[in-house]
Amino acid sequence: MAENEQEQRMATPRMAAGALFFNDQDQVLLVKPSYKPKWEIPGGYIERGESPLTACRREVEEELGITPVIGPLLVVDWAPSEAEGDKVLYVFDGGRLPPEELANVKLATEEVLAAEFHPVDAADELLIPRLARRIKAAIMARDQSYTAYLEHGQPPKSERDHGTP
């Protein structure tokens, strides 16, 4: 195979990183973007040459005006879309935001209309379906101390599910 053909076949996904933050009632912090109808988690696209963790920290600071400690990776989700092509999405554990950190939140008002804590049960109503699934998987991974691999917000089917021996 020619080098050019191989390069054309290689994936060049868009990547994004976000963080799950919790309050003392185990509710999740969601942000209301000015440019989308549904809520999101704090985060955004990774820039060229930037690591997912660095992008997550940058986006949280840009959107919320705070620099909390970002913990371990909870989820990697392969979630291509017809509009944007291949996408790989990372969700990190932002942990519990203490009241003093919450008091320092200053929204990037051109991008974020609101930042509010919501019960996890409200995820299906407030978020697009695959993000709701991703958040629920991230919370399960957080509770059990592992990193989940997802495809479209769901664990991939095993080889047995495909009929492969």
| CA–CA distances in Å: residue 77 to residues 42, 51, 73, 86 | 16, 16, 11, 11
DSSP structural state of residue 39 = -
| CA–CA distances in Å: residue 134 to residues 8, 19, 102, 153 | 30, 12, 24, 5
pLDDT of 5 reads 82
pLDDT tens digit string along 66-123?
Answer: 999 999 999 999 999 888 899 999 999 999 998 889 899 999 989 999 999 999 999 9
pLDDT of 81 reads 86
Domains in the chain (CATH in brackets) are: 12-155 (3.90.79.10)
DSSP structural state of residue 100 = H
- Angle subtended at Cα 75 by Cα 44 and Cα 98, rounded to the nearest 5 degrees: 70
Q: Is the pLDDT of residue 2 over 70?
A: no
- CA torsion, points 122, 124, 125, 128, in degrees to nearest 10? 130
Place of tokens 């053909």: 5
CB-CB contact of 15 with 52 (8 Å): yes
Q: Is the pLDDT of residue 165 over 50?
A: no
When comparing pLDDT for 8 and 87, which is higher? Answer: 87
pLDDT tens digit string along 34-73?
Answer: 999 999 999 999 999 999 999 999 999 999 999 999 999 9
Neighbours of 111 (CB within 10 A): 14
Sign of the CA dihedral running 120, 29, 148, 70:
negative
CB-CB contact of 47 with 55 (8 Å): yes
DSSP structural state of residue 84 = T
CB-CB contact of 73 with 141 (8 Å): no
